[in-house]
């Protein structure tokens, strides 16, 4: 596909048609074999520009071993979730009605309950057998694709941990969060953001001889599983358009695995290189992957629904 043949998509956050093509990457998890990646020239979000339907996402996620994934990251997840619960205690009270959207394997709901938040509900796209761990502690378990089963003005807080990057229509999700929240209700979420390392790699993608390295990096940042990386500017637009105020956004480096695991999974295995060189390469990638200076890759966001 040439640049003349490629359809330039509008930004899903701000609607700007002035988006910049970055690169193409292979996708072996669903029918869209080639994913095209773009950056919005206005709000800065980086996203997969292909038209992806919900059914295709379901097919892609079915290729993953979710149980194994959650087992691998459980230690880091517990640490992060404990910090998150500390944040939430400053924002909401233990008696507030809370819903955790994209609850995954239910670990966070379980930890919320153990921390004294007893009025917690959960939402997932599909009922999963692993959620038996929370069936006796949640007030309600919602399961649908469009959040229509959740009543309007029914919760004091909605929490989404690593959800916004997965959705096809982020504006729809932010609008739904505003709909189900009571007035002055809190939205709290974590989601990936564009980093200095990303911007550096966007330049690398344009450099002859280095383009492949930039493309390999991008494949690890946006994919069929991570459709969008936001910016503080794009997140602010998203929330303001949905009717939120008192928006607070902090960015920091956050990892689920050691640096060596990222190098092995996203570089060596994808390029079919020998795994034993992980030990030699990992130290060189540490500044790119593990520092706030180059890779403050996660936004921690809170806001309130306007009166």
Domain ranges of the chain: 66-193+230-253+297-305
pLDDT of 307 reads 76
- So what's the pLDDT on residue 152? 97
The pLDDT of residue 97: 98
Closest alpha carbon to 295 in 209, 206, 220, 189: 220
pLDDT of residue 18: 85
Quote the pLDDT of residue 41: 95
Instruction: Write the CB contacts of 267 (distance below 8 Å, at least 6 apart in sequence).
Output: 216, 220, 273, 281
Q: Which CATH topology does 66-193+230-253+297-305 take?
A: Rossmann fold (3.40.50)
Give CA–CA dist 103/140, Å, rounded.
12
- Looking at residue 126, its pLDDT comes to 76
Q: Is 100 helix (H, G, I), strand (E, B) or coil?
A: strand
Q: What pLDDT score was predicted for residue 286?
A: 87
Which residues of the chain, if any, have pLDDT below 70? 1-6, 127-130
Helix (H, G, I), strand (E, B) or coil at 6: coil
Residues 6 or more apart whose Cβ sits within 8 Å of residue 221? 46, 192, 198, 229
Q: Which tens digits make up the pLDDT trace of 220-233?
A: 999 999 999 999 99
Residue 101: the pLDDT is 97
């Amino acid at each position: 596909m040439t640049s003349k043949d490629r359809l330039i998509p509008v930004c899903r956050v701000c609607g700007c048609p002035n988006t910049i093509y970055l690169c193409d990457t292979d996708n072996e998890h669903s029918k869209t074999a080639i994913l095209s990646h773009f950056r919005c020239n206005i709000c800065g979000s980086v996203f997969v520009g292909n038209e992806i339907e919900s059914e295709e996402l379901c097919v892609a996620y079915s290729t993953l071993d979710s149980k194994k994934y959650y087992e691998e990251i459980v230690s880091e997840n517990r640490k992060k979730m404990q910090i998150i619960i500390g944040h939430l205690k400053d924002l909401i009270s233990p008696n507030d009605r809370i819903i955790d959207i994209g609850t995954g394997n239910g670990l966070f709901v379980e930890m919320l309950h153990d921390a004294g938040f007893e009025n917690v509900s959960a939402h997932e796209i599909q009922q999963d057998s692993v959620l038996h761990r929370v069936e006796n502690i949640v007030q309600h378990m919602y399961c649908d694709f469009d959040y229509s089963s959740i009543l309007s003005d029914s919760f004091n807080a909605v929490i989404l941990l690593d959800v916004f990057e997965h959705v096809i229509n982020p504006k729809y999700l932010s609008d739904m969060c505003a709909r189900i929240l009571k007035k002055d209700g809190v939205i709290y979420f974590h989601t990936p953001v564009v980093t200095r390392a990303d911007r550096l790699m966007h330049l690398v993608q344009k450099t002859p001889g280095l383009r492949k390295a930039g493309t390999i990096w991008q494949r690890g940042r946006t994919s069929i599983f991570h459709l969008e990386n936001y910016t503080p500017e794009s997140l602010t637009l998203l929330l303001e358009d949905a009717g939120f105020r008192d928006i607070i956004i902090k960015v920091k480096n956050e990892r689920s695995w050691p640096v060596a695991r990222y190098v092995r999974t996203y570089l060596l295995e994808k390029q079919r290189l020998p795994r034993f060189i992980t030990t030699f390469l990992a130290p060189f990638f540490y500044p790119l992957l593990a520092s706030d200076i180059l890779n403050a890759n996660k936004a921690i966001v809170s806001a309130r629904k306007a009166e």
